[in-house]
Amino acid sequence: MNTAETADRQDVLLQVRDLRTQFRTPLGMLRAVDGVSFDLAAGETFGIVGESGSGKSVLVRTIMNLLPSNAHVPSSGKVLYRGQNVHTLSPLDAKHFWGPEMAMVFQDPMTALNPVKKVGEHLTESMRYHLKVSRKVAASRALSLMREVGIPEPERRLEQYPHELSGGMRQRVVIAMALACEPKLLIADEPTTALDVTVQRQILDLLVRLQADRDMAMILISHDLGVVSGVSDRVAVMYGGHFLEVADTRELFTHVHHPYTEALLRSMPRLELPTGVRLSAIAGRPPDMTAPPPGCRFAARCEYAQHDCEAAIPSLRPGPEPTHLFRCLFPLRIADDGSAVTTDPASDTQQVTA
């Protein structure tokens, strides 16, 4: 089986193997995550990009063991953290794991905050619960965390309630909460999507700085290829519950192999475009995951699709660059002799339709 493994990378932190998540729905079993595998090295930033509904949030919620009761995760799927299965931790081990090893930042800061608790309590409670530090130590750490995430007047803010803060400040508090136990891996699921454009950039810059300072690994999720590409060492493109392409960020943009990734690049908004120019959005809709097609999940929307594409799901295989994986029978930019054809990503991605 080909996976997005990084066996040659030192210090593998997380190994995800053939993860599947299904939901019981009135229309039948919905295969939200359908065979995802990847490795993450310590300190690495792994970006996951895909359209809404492709399974990104369910994937990370499955990793974090945060699924609703109508979810089913076949036990053949595995999430190993430093070799240990994180879904079979004892309650005591779990207490020292979620928070101190792995923590998460969600899209909407309000869902992570309790409206009747002060900002300071949010920070100190998590430290006291997971790290068993004294009230005094927790309070002083809370103050330095507030400074670290760039909240002005931190003493005053600690005494405020979530509704007294702006959206951007709330997300900074949520990030501070996630960092309170010094996790080795931070999962950020669309951390900037609910924020104004100017604040989005600040929060992304903050995450990048904190990650570098702490040598923390990060899984960053976005529906925006621009957001993940600016930040990630490696990018996975998700569609219909699994990865269609995974590669180091530079390699992905210089040698796009999957037609879906190419289509995503073409649909990216660009500031320099004159107003009135319409972007080439991808025509059609993602597959119904209660009854996914037997072949490539993108075939119905793919302008290069051929008959064979509809027969069976292509495996995730490497191209000329062994760590560049893609799930396509007729990949772009691979010459007939199997070598990579270099393209200028700038000229390639500037195509627009009027």
Ligand X SMILES: Nc1ncnc2c1ncn2[C@@H]1O[C@H](COP(=O)(O)OP(=O)(O)O)[C@@H](O)[C@H]1O
Q: Which residues bind ligand X (CB under 6 A)?
A: 23, 25, 30, 32, 50, 52-58, 68, 70, 289
Instruction: For Mg ion, give the closer residue by CB, 57 or 229.
Output: 57
Segment interacting with Mg ion, rule: CB under 5 A, options 51-59, 67-75, 136-144, 265-273? 51-59
CB of 271 to ligand X, least distance (A): 24
Instruction: For ligand X, give the closer residue by CB, 52 or 342.
Output: 52
Instruction: For Mg ion, give the closer residue by CB, 187 or 263.
Output: 187
The entry of Mg ion, ligand X, none near residue 185 (CB within 5 to 8 angstroms by kind) is none
The entry of Mg ion, ligand X, none near residue 316 (CB within 5 to 8 angstroms by kind) is none
Q: For residue 99, give both structure tokens.
A: 């928070």
How far is Cα 161 from Cα 113, in angstroms, rounded to an integer? Answer: 9
CB of 202 to Mg ion, least distance (A): 21
CB of 6 to ligand X, least distance (A): 23
The entry of ligand X, Mg ion, none near residue 79 (CB within 5 to 8 angstroms by kind) is none
3-class SS string, the chain: CCCECCCCCCCEEEEEEEEEEEEEECCEEEEEEEEEEEEEECCCEEEEECCCCCCHHHHHHHHCCCCCCCEECCCCCEEEECCEEHHHCCHHHHHHHECCCEEEECCCHHHHCCCCCCHHHHHHHHHHHHHCCCHHHHHHHHHHHHHHCCCCCHHHHHCCCHHHCCHHHHHHHHHHHHHCCCCCEEEEECCCCCCCHHHHHHHHHHHHHHHHHHCCEEEEEECCHHHHHCCCCEEEEEECCEEEEEEEHHHHHHCCCCHHHHHHHHHCCCCCCCCCCCCCCCCCCCCCCCCCCCCCCCHHHCCCCCHHHHCCCCCCEECCCCCCEECCCCCCCECCCCCECCCCHHHHHCCCCC
The entry of ligand X, Mg ion, none near residue 68 (CB within 5 to 8 angstroms by kind) is ligand X
String marking each residue 56-85 x if it binds Mg ion according to CB under 5 A: -x----------------------------
* Block residue for tokens 């931070």: 186
The entry of ligand X, Mg ion, none near residue 150 (CB within 5 to 8 angstroms by kind) is none
Instruction: For Mg ion, give the closer residue by CB, 20 or 184.
Output: 20
The entry of Mg ion, ligand X, none near residue 70 (CB within 5 to 8 angstroms by kind) is ligand X
CB neighbour list of residue 233: distance below 8 Å, 6 or more residues apart? 44, 45, 46, 248, 249
CB of 194 to Mg ion, least distance (A): 11
Instruction: For Mg ion, give the closer residue by CB, 20 or 130.
Output: 20
CB of 49 to Mg ion, least distance (A): 11
CB of 61 to ligand X, least distance (A): 7
Instruction: For ligand X, give the closer residue by CB, 3 or 57.
Output: 57
Instruction: For ligand X, give the closer residue by CB, 23 or 46.
Output: 23
The entry of ligand X, Mg ion, none near residue 25 (CB within 5 to 8 angstroms by kind) is ligand X
The entry of Mg ion, ligand X, none near residue 210 (CB within 5 to 8 angstroms by kind) is none
How far is Cα 324 from Cα 255, in angstroms, rounded to an integer? Answer: 9
Q: For residue 211, give both structure tokens.
A: 């990650």
Instruction: For ligand X, give the closer residue by CB, 53 or 345.
Output: 53
User: Of the candidates 60, 91, 62, 97, which has an alpha carbon nearest to the alpha carbon of residue 77?
Assistant: 62
CB of 16 to ligand X, least distance (A): 15
Instruction: For Mg ion, give the closer residue by CB, 127 or 187.
Output: 187
- Side-chain-facing half-sphere of 28: CA atoms under 13 Å: 6
The entry of Mg ion, ligand X, none near residue 99 (CB within 5 to 8 angstroms by kind) is none
CB of 88 to Mg ion, least distance (A): 26
Residues that bind Mg ion (CB under 5 A): 57
